[in-house]
């Protein structure tokens, strides 16, 4: 494999440090530049990962690094569009954190720019790169449980606001202040935006089918200090007849619960079941110093697999396994959940 | 020997009737006097019944007219509950009846009306309230440890009961299917632990059955929206392969924290043989015994009922709303305005 020159745009997202670590660890990557509008943060990570150059001006990054192969965009959700677009217009391949955008028109535009310019646009659906989901995919497609019938999924988490407060600021997490529904003081941009898309993407991938209809219910908030929703349940009907659900709640108490959350899928088929608890591989650790039990993860390094495969897609000129289009489709499901909550009824897809 | 004040007739001696009989046999104040079964099944149960010192009766009137029998325990298929319960109440018996209370709201209402005018004791056997992990969860929530309940998840699944493949269970209009017969446990428990009423239900159930040869819905997933803003996800299934043991899971998140329990990972005993591998949940006390002990105390000492007939009505209403939603594709608001099971 040839050597790639890469940059990372913004450490706003909590996943950025792990991607930066992977960029440093991979022998065929030159992690040459970091852009961050937060200079203190950007420079701190520049130092931590010994990256050659830090920029506070994004145009300058592209002007001074004309041989860049790809960038990873890990800015706030609402700024993905702007950052991905700039990168694509400089003919750089882009791997973008999920959700790709919070606006379907923006997602369509990014997908079409990438296509027009012959560039790879990937969405960070890391769960497609976990050895358990890959094996489950093969079992499912191999007919081990007959035909899939109904799938219960969860992507629970802690609320990330103490690590990165923008996750609960509607302008940055969703791109606008849109009330959840009439009479509800909360805004879109919480756990539905953050946590619907992983399971939505896994379901689309497993089933090879698109969502036909979405129904969602939002609960009163667990945390009273948020402007956005922190728990919700989403029901999906796929075109191939499979029914599914997603629990996207930030329902694990941060700083208390032994792990960040889960990605679980219970697949009932016509001739058996597949159950995935993807983050079940942990050493249980409790120390007097920590004063609590902690699950210390030892499972697959999905970030590394994802970034490696993205580079392979560039090299082989193939579609990334989790593409910009996949990002767009998951965003549509997330937006449909919001619309269902607003209208109090099931919503048909496509939305546009 | 001292006279036992509770003379019990068990009506229906299938799986539940036998389970209840074993529990009644442990109540010192109770004596099983008679077991009602249809003539075709009478011979095969005779030896089991005689072990309790009871007789098999194939004519229900005989039980109603037996002045000594003062407790009737109805363990018949759901579609027969109303007829047998109302007759027993009118005959002046205390009545315990298996869940679900009935398949139609009008039936449940008629049963409740008959109870109210009878002056007798009446309970629907929602046994989950007597399972120690569920009971403890309720106590923890009531203690305030979790703050206000916000979002819950329940799973309850197994293979389709093997004794029932050709029976009434597999017929949608006789059992109500999995959303009525099985999910009703969690519908009742969720109402109890949220201490709130359900405002709206949305549910999905596959159009094609996983279990071959049955008409009853065998898998269902439902969203409940409570009046005070809480929400819950309910998954109930008979569509699992027979290698999977009966499994339950519960989690509740409140403004103060989270509680979870999982009978798949908390069982204290596992058995592996060349044929099978199973996890075995051993309870400090049999929940069915606790349920029947509670009903006995309700009759004898007027202990307040843990689960009232009105609770059973409400649980049925939620289950029926789920069935209706699964058939119409629309969310269903409570109270239900019409019957769901034809």
Task: Give A72-101 as a DSSP string.
Answer: EE-S-GGGHHHHHHHHHHTT-EEEEPSSS-
| Chain A: closest CA distance from residue B33 (Å) | 44
Residues 196-225 of A with CB under 8 A from B: 213, 215, 217-224
> Distance between terminal CA atoms of chain A?
40
pLDDT band per the 50, 70, 90 thresholds, residue B165: low
Cα–Cα distance measured from residue A258 to residue A23, given in angstroms and rounded to the nearest whole number: 28
In chain B, the residue whose alpha carbon lies closest to the alpha carbon of A231 is B151
* Distance of alpha carbon A84 from alpha carbon A99, whole angstroms: 12
Q: Would you tell me how many other CB atoms lie within 10 Å of the CB of residue B9? A: 26
Cis peptide before B100 (omega within 30 of 0): yes
Q: What is the pLDDT of residues B44-97, one digit of tens each?
A: 999 999 999 999 999 999 999 999 999 999 999 999 999 999 999 999 999 999
Mean pLDDT of B134-138: 97
- CB of B21 closer than 8 Å to CB of B8: no
Q: Which CATH superfamily hosts domain B134-287+315-333?
A: Dihydrodipicolinate Reductase; domain 2 (3.30.360.10)
A270 at B interface, C-beta within 8 A: yes
pLDDT at residue A209 is higher than 60: yes
| Portion of chain A with pLDDT greater than 90, in percent | 99
CB contact under 8 A, A271 and B241: yes
How distant is the Cα of A24 from the closest Cα of chain B, in angstroms? 38
A332: Cβ–Cβ under 8 A, 6 or more apart, which residues?
A104, A107, A211, A349, A350, A351, A352
Task: Give percent of chain B above pLDDT 70.
Answer: 98
- Name the band, by pLDDT with cuts 50, 70 and 90, for residue B277: confident
pLDDT of residue A33: 98
**Share above pLDDT 70 across residues of chain A, in percent, rounded to a whole number:** 100
Please tell me the least confidently modeled range out of A43-52, A84-93, B164-173, B189-198: B164-173
Q: For A313-338, how does the pLDDT look when each residue is reduced to its tens digit (9 = 90+)?
A: 999 999 999 999 999 999 999 999 99
Domain with CATH 3.30.360.10 in chain A: 130-348
β-pair type (B55-57, B30-36): parallel
How many CB atoms within 10 Å of residue A158? 18
pLDDT score of A35:
98
Letter string b/e over residues B202-212, b meaning 16 or more CB atoms within 10 A of that residue's CB: bbbbbeebbbe
Task: Name the residue among B223, B229, B330 with its Cβ closest to that of A233.
Answer: B223
Q: Compute the nearest-CA separation of A132 from chain B (Å).
A: 20
Per-residue model confidence (pLDDT) at position B145: 96
pLDDT by residue (tens digit) across A213-256? 999 999 999 999 999 999 999 999 999 999 999 999 999 999 99
Minimal Cβ distance to B233: which of A221, A247, A252? A247
Residue B227: φ, ψ to 5°: -60, -40
CB-neighbour burial class of residue B328 (10 A; exposed 0-12, middle 13-18, buried 19+): exposed
Please tell me the distance from the alpha carbon of residue B176 to that of residue B274, in angstroms, as a whole number.
37
Domain boundaries in chain B? 6-128, 134-287+315-333
State percent of chain B over pLDDT 90. 91
- What pLDDT was estimated at residue B255? 98
A235 near B CB under 8 A: yes
Beta strands in A166-281 (DSSP E): 211-218, 232-238, 243-247, 264-269, 272-277
Residues B155, A247: C-beta atoms closer than 8 Å = no
Share the mean pLDDT of chain A: 97
Cβ(B177)–Cβ(B216) below 8 Å: yes
Question: Are the Cβ atoms of B241 and A237 closer than 8 angstroms?
Answer: no
H helices of chain A, in order, are 16-25, 39-48, 58-64, 80-89, 104-117, 131-141, 170-173, 191-195, 197-207, 302-316, 324-343
Q: Do B210 and A154 touch (CB under 8 A)?
A: no
- CATH 3.40.50.720 domain locations along chain A: 4-126
Asked if A281 reaches chain B (Cβ–Cβ under 8 Å), the answer is no
Whether domain A4-126 has CATH 3.30.70.100: the reply is no
Residue B239: its chain A contacts at CB < 8 A? 149-150, 268
Could you tell me if A71 and A8 are in contact, meaning their C-beta atoms sit under 8 angstroms apart? yes
What CATH class has A130-348? alpha beta
Written out in words, the top-level CATH class of the domain with range B6-128 is: alpha beta
Out of B221, B241, B329, whose CB is closest to A272? B241
pLDDT digits over B88-125, tens only?
Answer: 999 999 999 999 999 999 999 999 999 999 999 999 99
């Amino acid at each position: 494999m040839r050597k790639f020159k890469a940059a990372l745009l913004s450490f706003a997202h909590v996943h950025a440090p792990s991607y930066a670590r992977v960029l440093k660890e991979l022998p065929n990557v030159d992690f040459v530049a970091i852009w961050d509008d937060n200079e203190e943060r950007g420079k701190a990570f520049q130092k931590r990962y010994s990256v050659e150059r830090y920029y506070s001006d994004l145009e300058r990054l592209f002007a001074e690094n004309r041989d860049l192969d790809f960038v990873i965009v890990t800015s706030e959700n609402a700024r993905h569009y702007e950052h991905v677009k700039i990168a694509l217009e400089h003919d750089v391949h882009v791997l973008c954190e999920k959700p790709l955008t919070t606006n379907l028109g923006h997602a369509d535009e990014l997908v079409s720019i990438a296509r027009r310019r012959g560039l790879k646009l990937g969405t960070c659906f890391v769960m497609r790169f976990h050895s358990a989901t890959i094996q489950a995919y093969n079992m499912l497609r191999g007919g081990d449980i007959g035909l899939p019938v109904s799938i219960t999924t969860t992507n629970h988490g802690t609320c990330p606001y103490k690590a990165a407060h923008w996750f609960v600021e509607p302008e940055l997490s969703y791109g606008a202040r849109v009330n959840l529904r009439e009479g509800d003081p909360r805004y879109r941009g919480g756990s539905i935006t953050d946590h619907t898309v992983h399971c939505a993407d896994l379901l689309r991938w497993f089933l090879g089918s698109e969502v036909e209809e979405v129904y969602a219910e939002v609960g009163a908030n667990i945390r009273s200090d948020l402007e956005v929703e922190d728990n919700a349940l989403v029901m999906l009907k796929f075109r191939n007849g499979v029914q599914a659900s997603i629990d996207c709640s930030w329902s694990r108490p941060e700083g208390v619960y032994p792990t960040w959350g889960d990605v679980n899928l219970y697949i009932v088929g016509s001739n058996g079941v597949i159950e995935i608890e993807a983050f079940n591989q942990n050493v249980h650790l409790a120390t007097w110093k920590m004063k609590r039990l902690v699950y210390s993860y030892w499972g697959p390094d999905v970030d590394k697999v994802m970034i490696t495969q993205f580079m392979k897609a560039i090299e082989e000129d193939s579609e990334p396994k989790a593409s910009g289009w996949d990002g767009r489709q998951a965003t549509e499901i997330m937006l449909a959940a919001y619309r269902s909550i607003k209208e109090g009824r099931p919503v048909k897809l496509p939305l546009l | 020997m001292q006279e036992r004040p509770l003379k019990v007739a068990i009506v229906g001696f299938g799986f539940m009737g036998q389970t209840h009989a074993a529990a009644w046999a442990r109540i010192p104040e109770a004596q099983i006097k008679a077991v009602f079964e249809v003539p075709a099944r009478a011979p095969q149960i005779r030896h089991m019944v005689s072990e309790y010192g009871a007789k098999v009766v194939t004519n229900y009137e005989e039980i109603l007219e037996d002045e000594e029998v003062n407790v009737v325990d109805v363990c018949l298929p759901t579609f027969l509950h109303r007829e047998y319960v109302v007759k027993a109440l009118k005959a002046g018996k205390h009545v315990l009846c298996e869940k679900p209370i009935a398949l139609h709201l009008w039936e449940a209402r008629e049963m409740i009306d008959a109870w109210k005018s009878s002056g007798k004791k009446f309970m629907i056997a929602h046994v989950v309230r007597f399972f120690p992990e569920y009971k403890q969860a309720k106590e923890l929530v009531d203690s305030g440890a979790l703050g206000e309940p916000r979002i819950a998840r329940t799973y309850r699944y197994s293979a389709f009961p093997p004794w029932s493949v050709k029976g009434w269970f597999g017929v949608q209009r006789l059992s109500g299917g999995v959303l009525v017969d099985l999910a009703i446990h969690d519908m009742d428990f969720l109402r109890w632990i949220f201490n709130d009423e359900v405002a709206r239900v949305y549910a999905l159930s596959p159009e094609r059955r996983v279990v071959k040869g049955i008409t009853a819905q065998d898998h269902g997933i439902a969203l409940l929206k409570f009046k005070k803003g809480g929400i819950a996800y309910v998954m109930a299934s008979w569509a699992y392969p027979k290698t999977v043991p009966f499994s339950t899971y519960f989690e509740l998140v409140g403004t103060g924290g989270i509680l979870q329990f999982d009978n798949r990972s908390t069982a204290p005993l596992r058995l592996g043989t060349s044929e099978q591998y199973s996890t075995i949940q051993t309870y400090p006390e049999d929940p069915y015994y606790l349920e029947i002990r509670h009903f006995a105390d309700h009759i004898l000492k007027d202990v307040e009922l843990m689960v009232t007939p009105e609770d059973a009505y409400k649980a049925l209403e939620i289950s029926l709303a789920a069935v209706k939603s699964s058939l119409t594709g629309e969310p269903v608001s409570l109270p239900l305005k019409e019957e769901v099971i034809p």
